[in-house]
């Protein structure tokens, strides 16, 4: 599903008057989640899941082309853990 298709589904299911309003709502949600994660916040949506930032440790990897060992630096990565209700809905 593309963003355009998601906006159309939100407009249909959410009772929005237009796709433009639904796109505004989706954009606001995405921007808010992004900003909160940048600030190190954890977002819990009961029944849906949790968005959080996790630390990925530095590691050594091998370049498959040159077989040279390289060091991949530590970094922060966004993560999502599905809630029980979402897991149950997907498995039915």
The pLDDT assigned to 90 comes to 96
Percent with pLDDT over 70 in the chain: 100
- Position 16 scores a pLDDT of 87
Whether the full predicted model's pTM is greater than 0.85, yes or no, is no
**Which pLDDT does position 17 carry in this prediction?**
86
Residues 6 or more apart whose CB falls under 8 angstroms from that of 8 comprise: 19, 22
Predicted confidence (pLDDT) per residue in 60-71, tens digit: 999 999 999 999
Give the DSSP H/E element, type plus range, for residue 41. none
Q: Determine which helix (DSSP H) or strand (DSSP E) holds 69, and give its type and residue range.
A: strand 69-72
Residue 33 φ/ψ, nearest 5 degrees: -60, -45
């Amino acid at each position: 599903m593309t963003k355009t298709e998601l906006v159309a589904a939100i407009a249909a299911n959410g009772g929005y008057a237009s796709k433009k309003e639904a796109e505004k709502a989706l954009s606001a949600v995405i921007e808010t989640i992004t900003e909160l994660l940048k600030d190190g916040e954890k977002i819990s949506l009961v029944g849906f899941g949790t968005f959080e930032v996790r630390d990925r440790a530095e590691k050594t990897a091998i370049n498959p082309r040159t077989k040279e060992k390289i060091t991949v630096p530590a970094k922060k990565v966004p993560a999502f853990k599905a809630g029980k209700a979402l897991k149950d809905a997907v498995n039915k």
